[in-house]
Each structure stands twice: as C-alpha cells, then as structure tokens.
A and B are shown apart, each in its own frame.
Chain A
C-alpha cells in the first residue's frame, strides 16, 4: 500500500507515493538525499533529526512522512538563502558552537525556532529551549554563545 503525499520541502513542492510506515527523516535522507538531517537515537530524545514543520521544530525520526502531507518542511539545507548563512548558522561558526557537527543541524533548527519565539533570550532561556537536543562534544556553553550571537544579528530572519 502506498499513499500519495504532497510536501513542500525547502520551498519546492514534492509529490511522493509513500509506504505509510516510512519515517519523515528517511524520506528526507533517502528519497530527497537531504542527508544533513541526522539520526541519533530513533526515539525523539537527542534532536539530531530536528526539522521545521510549518515553522515548528519537530523530530523527524518519530514522525511518519505521511503525517507531513500538505506541510512545509525546512531542513538544514534550506536555511541559507542565496548563499548567505542564516544568523544562527553564522553564530555557530563564529562562536565554535560545534565540534563533530553531528548534532549541529538539529541544534541549529531548534535554535531558529527558539529565536522566532523569543528574539532576545537570556542564557537560561536558551538552555531551556535547547534542552531537547543533545550534544556530546561541546558542553553546550559555546552553543548558547552561538545563539546569543545570532540574536544579536537579528536572530530569526
């Protein structure tokens, strides 16, 4: 059984006939070769698979692709516009907000949501906003610095 699905991915409307059990993260990674969205835990804990679904950060490893029918999905690959990094991407670069880079796309997408809801967050508010994303490399402090940097650049864009 396959189900017809229409999803706008990084601004482009795509149509698929999907096995209903296919996870959104696998649709993005395998059917769309958008491999910047990573799988870290398969249980929605680590947030490496975070994408924006109609502007909200969701964990694409615990969501079926068919559930995204009619939605707009933004992945890490869709964040930079015309070659210009998003302020959050710039912040992660400037403030050494990443080491191995594996959690980074999810961290960045969650940070984008955070700044869209709170343009000038305190360090505590940033930590709270990122508590659903795990990083094993950085110890988080530079990630919080990165989000503050992005907020200073006008954040959400």
Chain B
C-alpha cells in the first residue's frame, strides 16, 4: 500500500450512484425492454404437501397471447437441479427440480410455467391452468418433525433430519457442568423472517442462437455464482454465459441464491427462441423467495455463584423448510462459530439439527447465523445476571478478553482478529448517559411505569470469508486500468446493490493513485466486465473487494515507476510517487500518472522489457474473517394498557475499523438496526398448521415504518483489523446483529417487576400485553 495522503477516504462523501436513482432513470431488471420480449408467470401450489394428480393446460394454451404452457414433465429433464453449495457431511438432499414433479412440498412451489406476449396474458394463462391435487399430511413444526413416526416432508428420504452438526470446543464440557454452582436453562425460539427487499426478484434471459451465448439479467447479489452454477442447469457453458446484475433493489440475503426461476428463464429463452422476462409478484416473493432464521434452541449455562461462566451447552433445531437452497444448511452452522459472543467461555458443546418441513427454504437473511448466536448469548447473559443478582454490564465486562489478548481464540474454534470490547461499551455508556438513564429507570418504576433498559455487546463474523471456510473460494477479484486519457476504471468482482461501493471504492482508488475522484469510474455486476468475483454478502465487499483494488493500484504504481524512471532517466528506485506525481531527485520535471498512461499506451518509448498498457488485476485472499463488534443500549417504555413498546433512546457504538465513508457506514448501521427493530417487535413469518402462509403480503408481514423508528444516537470506536491493509472490518450486518438482543433485553427488563424473565420475539403489543395481563392476574 502506498503512502498516499488520504484525500477522500474517511470523508462522508455523497454517493456517485445517486443521481440516476433519484431521477428515476436507473435500470432495474424489470425495467429492461428487449424486442420480442415474452413474459413468464407461474402456477404455484396452494398446498403445502400434495400429490399432483392432473394438469390441464388446454384452456390456458388457447388464450390470446399465450405462447407456451409447460409442466415439470416438459422441463425438469432439460434443467439440472437447483444447487445447494453447503459443504455439510452426510447432508441428505431431496432432488430439487425447477418445477414440481408429481408432488408439491410447500405453498408456492412452482408447478406450471406460462409464457405469453404480455404480462397480463401470462397471468390470464396462469388463472386458466387446471391443476388437481390430492392433499397429503403436512409437517410444519420441526420439533414434531424429528419425533419417531412423524409425517415425512420427503418420504423418499426416510427422515426429516437433513443433517446433524456438532461443535465441541475448548475445555471438557462435562467437567464444566460438574464444577458449576448452578445451571441456568432457557428455551429460545428465533422466529422465521422474510427478508422482503422492496424490489422483488426479476429475471430477463436472452439467447443468441448464432453464437450459442446467453445473457441473463437477474436481480441478484451473486452474478458470479450464477455464472458458475447455471451452466450445470441449462447447458450453456460458463464462457458462453453472461450474467448481469443491473440496479438491484435490495437483497438482504434473499438474492444470495441460485433460484429455479433463473435457470428456467434461461431454458425458456433457448427453447422458445425469444427473450423472456419474469417479474416476481410480492406474494411470490413471500412464498417462494428464501426466508431466514427459524431456530429453536435449548440452552444451558454452567456458572459459579460469582458469575464466572464455565461452559455453554446448546441444542438447536433449525427449520430448513422443504428444500436446501444454495446455503440453507450452512446458515445454522455459522451460529456455532460465534456462539460465545464477546466472552471468554472456556467450554462449548452445541448440536445443530437441520430439519425438513413443508415450508419455503430458509437461507441467509441479513446476519445469517450470527444474529441467532448474538441474540442467544445476550439473552443468556441477562438471564445469568438476573438469576445470580449481578449487574448485567459487570457480568459482561468480567468475561471480555482484554484488548491485549487479541488475536483471541474462542472455544468455538475461531480466532477473533482484534478488539476492544471495553472501549465500545464505555463509549456507549457515555453516549447513553448511563447513570442518568438508570436513575430514570428507577424513578419510572417507582411511579409504576414499565420502563426498561437493554444492553447488547456483540461481535460478529465479517469479510466472509477465507477460501478455507467457503464452498468455492472466498477471495475477491479486482482490476484497475489507467486509461490512455488518464481516467481510471476500477472493476470489482463484488456486486453492490445499495451499499454504495461505486463511491467508497472510488474513494479508495482515487487516494491510492492520487487522482481526482471525478476521474474514477467503478464498474460491477456484469460478468462480461467483471470476469471473476465472489459477489456481495456477509459484509465482505469493502474488506475483500476493496483490498483487491488496493493490490491493483500497488501493481500499477510499481509499473508506472519503471516508466517514470525511464522517462526521467533515473534508476527506478530513485522514483518517488506522491499525490499523483512521479518525481526523482535531480530530475527536471515530475510526471503525472496520466502522462505515464499516455506513454504506456502510445508505446513508442517503452522501457526495455516492459509491456505496454497500465492495467493490473488481483485476487485477494483474506487470511481470516474479520470480527467487528460494538455495544447497543436501548431504553423502552411499555404502555401497560396496550402492550405497545415505545423506544425512548437508541445508542449504538459500532467498531468496523477505519471507515472509508462514514456517511455510508451510518446508513448501513441505521438500516441494520431497523431490521432488528422489525425482528424484535413486529416481524414473523407465520405458517398455520396446514402449512398455509399467513404472512404473504406486506399487509400481514409487519415491517417497520418511518413512525416506528427512534432517533439513533450513533458512535464508533476504531480498532483496525490486521487481516487487510486498509484495516477495515465490514459493517453491512452489524446493526442487524447488535440491535435485536438490545431491544429484546430492554423490553424484558421493562417487564422485570412482573416476574417476566424471557419472552420470544416478536414482542408485539399482543404478546407483551398477554405477558403483562397474565402476570398481573397471577399476582393479584
């Protein structure tokens, strides 16, 4: 990394990508208009489990504008199965065809695809298809599903258990529990959630028969994953397949997948000889795009009476839904990696059982595995403090490793890169005016108000991830080219969809090369431009992708120095580079990067042995995950009559290392906290006992609105990561991970006087009211 002055990095610059978006002239997938475009719509199962006894497509085919009506029998042999890339030993996988075969396994399972020359005709076609079903017994409760004799989700698998994953780490767990003064137990249900990006999924596919090439535009976070995995499904070779993720209207993990509809659109474009488009409806998004979380956990903590935690035992039942999507079984195993949170807990034993049920697949939703772990350990810390009569903050402080102890190896088998958990906690207490807040809590309670304060100190796993931890590489690729004009083009293999890396990467590259940020263009999301990449998820893009670009600029500067030495007639080691200028002692002039680029491409005066051009590409392999951390403090007041929770104060201190663009960091943190508030207070994906989805629209799935959000008081500390030259850690999921337990702990603290020690989320007015009411009645 060059010793350039940082002109842009660290500045809260407004975003380069915004003008097109605020003018409404950005191009999302559904905005694409291709000549001869056909429109795709799906007939989906209304049953959670049924045998398909007949399909009559004749009426649909006769509708004006309908071009094709195809069933599983027509397409499943032509399209490979929907892939699961999680490397879990002995994983039992059902065959996941693009359309249902003779059975359906969840409400929303696609059964028939209709193609028409306009979107209205396609939906008319869907309405006209007659499918007859013979409903079969349904299993929706994963705890029931693992009992002997339970209804089987996939009868041919012979079991509902997809896998069992064990984490055994640190010192002897049985010894820890023998030494304990007490064992504190809690069952925790981490509810099912629907990611709900405001843009549903959309796919456009166009086959170029002459060249045998295919272009697919998809509202995806992972164009490069699609380019790797779709060839096996649709038979177009990787190097004949171009994937474009244009503007993508939010992902949150929902678009970190390879979906049946993406393959099927590719197949249809080939089969019908015309470009096709599918734009998902919101109801389809709710039924047939992945869900998140859904873990039931039984936890036991072994403690000494002084609060010392000796060990943690956990049994988690993860509801996978009916199929494994791309990373479905891997998500709960991430929980096992960070179960001990910020704390020194010497012994850990965890069993994770992945279970099939007749629901949509779960997979990575913002945080993916880490919010589950953080929520659990932070609830448990409060439960331990309460049980032992200790101060919950002191209990946390007691178990923090000291800043000097990093890198810190945990009983879960990972090594935290760097940290100062005490510093973040202290800063959060300052910002919250902790003493005053606790006095307010005491005074409020004296007057009979339900006022609570919640604390969460969290650590998360970001920069996912080192290749050793990933199914197919965790590196990132970048390319930087100084054009003949001196303009700089930076190409990243990450695939931003709202995070703002067109800006933050331009800040990094402009600083590295000492050029004006106006001269830098960042390109992404098109595999014809960004040849390789591992895309955007797991708070990885800025850390790994940003570093790949830094490596490129280092190579460019090294090459440019050779050019400069040649032109200035000095030895290369005499050339210095600062602020975009190459100079040497005694040389008559300095040379700009643009001047050298001109020479490099005109190529009439090349240094001996040097290639023309000024371009470099790099793959960055990160040596470890990064581990951002922080403290969130929340004060809430509950309306005793309605059970409504009002957030009175929200303080978050997050440490993601040095910030490239503090404005974007703030946006990520605030947005993440909103997801958490949604999870803690409102959101739950609900299936009834028949496997019917009851939260299939925004009407029923309650996401936070502008009126549900507090004013955020945000702060940060800066602890650089040693894993990368920028020292950064990633921040995309921090809010979602840190905030949920803070809000939940605050609500439960507010109900402390009523004897409430735990409530499962979401803490809706109804649930809170019932808790108040039952306790009040019980104590009268």
**B120 surroundings in chain A (CB, below 8 A):** 19, 21-22
Indicate whether B160 reaches chain A with its CB closer than 8 angstroms: no
**Is there contact, CB below 8 Å, between A140 and B30?**
no
Task: Give a binary string over A4-33; 1 marks a CB under 8 Å from any B CB, 0 the rest.
Answer: 000000000000000101100010010001
Indicate whether B765 reaches chain A with its CB closer than 8 angstroms: no
**Is there contact, CB below 8 Å, between A37 and B24?**
yes
Task: Give a binary string over A83-98; 1 marks a CB under 8 Å from any B CB, 0 the rest.
Answer: 0010001001110101
Residues of B with Cβ closer than 8 Å to A?
A: 14-15, 17-19, 21-28, 30-31, 33, 119-120, 196-200, 247-252, 279, 281-283, 497-500, 663-664, 666-667, 670-675, 697-699, 703-707, 709, 711-712, 735
**Is there contact, CB below 8 Å, between A136 and B198?**
yes
**B663 surroundings in chain A (CB, below 8 A):** 96
Q: Give 9 nearest A-B pairs by CB, closest first.
A: A36-B24, A102-B249, A101-B21, A100-B498, A76-B24, A139-B674, A139-B670, A99-B498, A45-B698
Complex Cα distance, B33 from A29, in Å, reads 10
A-B contact pairs, 21 of them (CB 8 A): A19-B120, A26-B119, A33-B33, A35-B24, A35-B27, A41-B282, A41-B697, A43-B698, A89-B23, A96-B663, A100-B247, A100-B248, A102-B199, A102-B247, A102-B250, A105-B24, A127-B705, A127-B706, A139-B735, A140-B704, A140-B705
Indicate whether A104 reaches chain B with its CB closer than 8 angstroms: yes
Complex Cα distance, B669 from A99, in Å, reads 12
Complex Cα distance, B252 from A40, in Å, reads 16
**Is there contact, CB below 8 Å, between B706 and A126?**
yes
User: Are A141 and B15 CB-contacts (below 8 A) given A37-B24, A100-B249?
Assistant: no
Complex Cα distance, B498 from A139, in Å, reads 13
Task: Give a binary string over A40-58; 1 marks a CB under 8 Å from any B CB, 0 the rest.
Answer: 1111011010000000000
Complex Cα distance, B735 from A42, in Å, reads 29
Interface of chain A: mostly helix, strand, loop or mixed: loop
- Closest CB-CB distance, B549 to chain A, in whole Å? 21
**Is there contact, CB below 8 Å, between B699 and A45?**
yes
- With beta carbons under 8 angstroms apart, the residue of B24, B667, B703, B709 that contacts A127 is B709
Indicate whether A39 reaches chain B with its CB closer than 8 angstroms: yes
**Is there contact, CB below 8 Å, between B711 and A123?**
yes
**Is there contact, CB below 8 Å, between B199 and A96?**
no
**A137 surroundings in chain B (CB, below 8 A):** 198, 250, 498, 667, 671
**Is there contact, CB below 8 Å, between B672 and A75?**
no
**Is there contact, CB below 8 Å, between A134 and B711?**
no
**B667 surroundings in chain A (CB, below 8 A):** 96, 99, 137-139, 142
Q: Which residue of A lies closest to B202 (CB)?
A: A39
Q: Which residue of B lies closest to A128 (CB)?
A: B707
User: Are A36 and B25 CB-contacts (below 8 A) given A96-B663, A138-B671, A139-B712?
Assistant: yes
**Is there contact, CB below 8 Å, between B498 and A101?**
yes
Task: Give a binary string over A77-121; 1 marks a CB under 8 Å from any B CB, 0 the rest.
Answer: 101100001000100111010111111110010000000000000
Q: Which residue of A lies closest to B32 (CB)?
A: A35
Complex Cα distance, B704 from A131, in Å, reads 9
- Closest CB-CB distance, B198 to chain A, in whole Å? 5
User: Are A96 and B666 CB-contacts (below 8 A) given A19-B120, A127-B707, A139-B672?
Assistant: yes
**Is there contact, CB below 8 Å, between B22 and A77?**
no
Complex Cα distance, B698 from A103, in Å, reads 14
Complex Cα distance, B21 from A35, in Å, reads 11
Complex Cα distance, B706 from A144, in Å, reads 8
Complex Cα distance, B119 from A139, in Å, reads 33
**B707 surroundings in chain A (CB, below 8 A):** 127-128, 131
User: Are A100 and B199 CB-contacts (below 8 A) given A21-B120, A140-B706?
Assistant: yes
**A65 surroundings in chain B (CB, below 8 A):** none
**A33 surroundings in chain B (CB, below 8 A):** 33
**A94 surroundings in chain B (CB, below 8 A):** 14
Q: Which residue of A lies closest to B705 (CB)?
A: A131
Complex Cα distance, B251 from A156, in Å, reads 32
**Is there contact, CB below 8 Å, between A42 and B281?**
yes
Complex Cα distance, B275 from A50, in Å, reads 29
Apart from A42-B282, A45-B697, A100-B497, what are 20 other A-B pairs with CB-CB below 8 Å? A19-B120, A26-B119, A33-B33, A38-B30, A38-B198, A42-B281, A77-B25, A93-B22, A96-B14, A99-B250, A100-B199, A100-B498, A101-B18, A104-B21, A127-B705, A134-B703, A136-B675, A139-B670, A140-B709, A141-B670
**B500 surroundings in chain A (CB, below 8 A):** 99
User: Are A130 and B25 CB-contacts (below 8 A) given A102-B198, A136-B196, A138-B670?
Assistant: no
- With beta carbons under 8 angstroms apart, the residue of A103, A133, A140 that contacts B674 is A140
**B735 surroundings in chain A (CB, below 8 A):** 139
User: Are A98 and B28 CB-contacts (below 8 A) given A43-B699, A127-B707?
Assistant: no
**B248 surroundings in chain A (CB, below 8 A):** 100
- Closest CB-CB distance, B89 to chain A, in whole Å? 36
- With beta carbons under 8 angstroms apart, the residue of A26, A93, A134 that contacts B15 is A93
- Closest CB-CB distance, B125 to chain A, in whole Å? 15
- Closest CB-CB distance, A42 to chain B, in whole Å? 6
- Closest CB-CB distance, B650 to chain A, in whole Å? 10
**A76 surroundings in chain B (CB, below 8 A):** 22-24
**Is there contact, CB below 8 Å, between A43 and B282?**
yes
Indicate whether A63 reaches chain B with its CB closer than 8 angstroms: no
Q: Which residue of A lies closest to B249 (CB)?
A: A102
**Is there contact, CB below 8 Å, between A35 and B18?**
no
User: Considering residues A42, A75, A136, A144, which has the most beta carbons from chain B within 10 angstroms of its beta carbon?
Assistant: A136
Indicate whether A68 reaches chain B with its CB closer than 8 angstroms: no
**B279 surroundings in chain A (CB, below 8 A):** 39
Complex Cα distance, B247 from A135, in Å, reads 16
**Is there contact, CB below 8 Å, between A40 and B282?**
yes
- Closest CB-CB distance, B422 to chain A, in whole Å? 27
Q: Which residue of A lies closest to B248 (CB)?
A: A100
- Closest CB-CB distance, B779 to chain A, in whole Å? 36
**Is there contact, CB below 8 Å, between A93 and B706?**
no
- With beta carbons under 8 angstroms apart, the residue of B22, B197, B671, B704 that contacts A104 is B22
Indicate whether A143 reaches chain B with its CB closer than 8 angstroms: yes
- With beta carbons under 8 angstroms apart, the residue of B282, B671, B703 that contacts A99 is B671
**Is there contact, CB below 8 Å, between A80 and B197?**
no
Q: Which residue of A lies closest to B283 (CB)?
A: A42
Complex Cα distance, B666 from A29, in Å, reads 33
**Is there contact, CB below 8 Å, between B23 and A46?**
no
- Closest CB-CB distance, B365 to chain A, in whole Å? 12
- Closest CB-CB distance, A101 to chain B, in whole Å? 3
**A77 surroundings in chain B (CB, below 8 A):** 23-25
**Is there contact, CB below 8 Å, between B252 and A41?**
no
**Is there contact, CB below 8 Å, between B697 and A96?**
no
- Closest CB-CB distance, B670 to chain A, in whole Å? 4
**B119 surroundings in chain A (CB, below 8 A):** 26
Complex Cα distance, B23 from A37, in Å, reads 10
- Closest CB-CB distance, A135 to chain B, in whole Å? 7
- Closest CB-CB distance, B184 to chain A, in whole Å? 34
Indicate whether A71 reaches chain B with its CB closer than 8 angstroms: no
**A131 surroundings in chain B (CB, below 8 A):** 705-707
Complex Cα distance, B663 from A79, in Å, reads 26
Q: Which residue of A lies closest to B279 (CB)?
A: A39
Complex Cα distance, B663 from A77, in Å, reads 26
Complex Cα distance, B664 from A128, in Å, reads 25
**Is there contact, CB below 8 Å, between B712 and A98?**
no
**A136 surroundings in chain B (CB, below 8 A):** 196-198, 250, 252, 671, 674-675, 703
**B22 surroundings in chain A (CB, below 8 A):** 76, 85, 89, 92-93, 98, 101, 104, 108
User: Considering residues A98, A126, A130, which has the most beta carbons from chain B within 10 angstroms of its beta carbon?
Assistant: A98
Complex Cα distance, B251 from A101, in Å, reads 12
- Closest CB-CB distance, B366 to chain A, in whole Å? 10
User: Are A134 and B250 CB-contacts (below 8 A) given A36-B23, A45-B698, A102-B197?
Assistant: no
Complex Cα distance, B28 from A29, in Å, reads 12
**Is there contact, CB below 8 Å, between A134 and B19?**
no
- Closest CB-CB distance, B289 to chain A, in whole Å? 13
User: Considering residues B21, B670, B705, B707, which has the most beta carbons from chain A within 10 angstroms of its beta carbon?
Assistant: B21
**A45 surroundings in chain B (CB, below 8 A):** 697-699
- Closest CB-CB distance, A157 to chain B, in whole Å? 15
**Is there contact, CB below 8 Å, between B18 and A100?**
no
